[in-house]
């Protein structure tokens, strides 16, 4: 198991590594974009999973299709425009890092949806779309609606199984942290279910909850939240995209680690 910290330096090194990989593939390297995330964070990811389909497509110089499945924070609620949602920015970062203009990131976020509703459209939005990678952000609306955590787990299990059967790489993204949480232990149960399910299936998990909680602990906290203090703004979505891009680059560069 490899633990690595999200930091400005780490993200820069991972993007630099992707540029090196691009050179090995005979692709002209691109310059990394300026970083927008806080320079240091204690949040760590235990990353033990490759993204074999993405890696194979990149190695062959072919197109890569990423579907970002989720709710309002995937759709980009709180951003000034769709161009500032995390999926749009992620597509730009990946295309630049791997110098591949055939990397397509499809934003399949729908405001207010829970895990069950996302699973119901998983076949149409991901499998029929020919996705190589799905980034599945979920859990927030299940927690807010107090859906039975075990039912939530069942929906996760079903979605993971369908994507595995279809041969599609997967990254899970857990709920956002909300500074005004009044029932934090109840809300965190859904975060825990996602961690447990990801670990059981060896699926990589982007720890958005811990990352946003870390941001809230900083003094002063970064101005990453929108006016509703729940969703992110342009800068917050840019940071999420930056870190998810680094996660994908790490998987392609290093593959599974023990």
pLDDT single digits (tens) 46-55: 556 789 999 9
Q: Residue 179: what pLDDT?
A: 75
Structural element, H or E, at residue 173: strand 169-173
Coil/strand/helix, residue 187? helix
Give me 217's structure tokens: 């602990």
Residue of 251, 257, 250, 215 whose CA lies nearest to 236: 215
Q: Residue 31: what pLDDT?
A: 35
Q: Residue 218: what pLDDT?
A: 85
Do β-strands 2-5 and 44-47 pair in parallel, antiparallel, or remain unpaired?
antiparallel
2-254 belongs to which CATH class?
A: alpha beta
Q: Residue 182: what pLDDT?
A: 67
Helix axes of 184-200 and 149-165: crossing angle, nearest 10 degrees: 30
Quote the distance between the C-alpha of residue 205 and its chain's center: 8
Domain boundaries of the chain, sorted by first residue: 2-254
Task: Taking the CA atoms of 155, 135, 195 and 240 in sequence, report the sign of the dihedral they define.
Answer: negative
Q: Residue 41: what pLDDT?
A: 65
pLDDT single digits (tens) 129-154: 999 999 999 999 999 999 999 999 99
Q: Residue 141: what pLDDT?
A: 95
Give me 4's structure tokens: 């690595």
Low-confidence ranges of the chain (pLDDT < 50): 1-4, 6-35, 258
Q: Residue 216: what pLDDT?
A: 87
């Amino acid at each position: 198991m490899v633990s690595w910290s999200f930091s400005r330096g780490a993200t820069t090194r991972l993007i630099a590594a992707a540029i090196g990989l691009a050179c090995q593939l005979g692709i002209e390297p691109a310059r990394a974009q300026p970083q927008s995330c806080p320079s240091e964070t204690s949040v760590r990811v235990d990353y033990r999973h490759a993204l074999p389909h993405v890696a194979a497509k990149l190695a062959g110089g072919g197109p890569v299709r990423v579907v970002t499945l989720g709710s309002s924070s995937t759709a980009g609620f709180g951003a000034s425009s769709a161009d500032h949602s995390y999926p749009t920015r992620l597509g730009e970062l990946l295309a630049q890092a791997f110098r591949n203009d055939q990397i397509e990131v499809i934003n399949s976020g729908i405001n207010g949806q829970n895990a069950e509703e996302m699973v119901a459209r998983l076949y149409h939005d991901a499998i029929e779309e020919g996705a190589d990678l799905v980034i599945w952000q979920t859990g927030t609306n299940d927690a807010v609606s107090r859906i039975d955590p075990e039912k939530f787990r069942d929906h996760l299990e079903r979605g993971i199984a369908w994507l595995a059967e279809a041969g599609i790489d997967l990254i899970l993204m857990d709920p956002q942290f909300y500074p005004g949480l009044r029932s934090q232990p109840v809300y965190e149960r859904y975060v825990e279910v996602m961690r447990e399910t990801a670990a059981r299936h060896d699926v990589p998990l982007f720890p958005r909850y811990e990352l946003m909680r870390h941001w809230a602990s900083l003094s002063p906290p970064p101005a990453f939240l929108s006016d509703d203090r729940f969703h992110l703004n342009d800068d917050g979505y840019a940071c999420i995209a930056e870190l998810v891009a680094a996660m994908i680059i790490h998987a392609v560069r290093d593959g599974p680690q023990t």
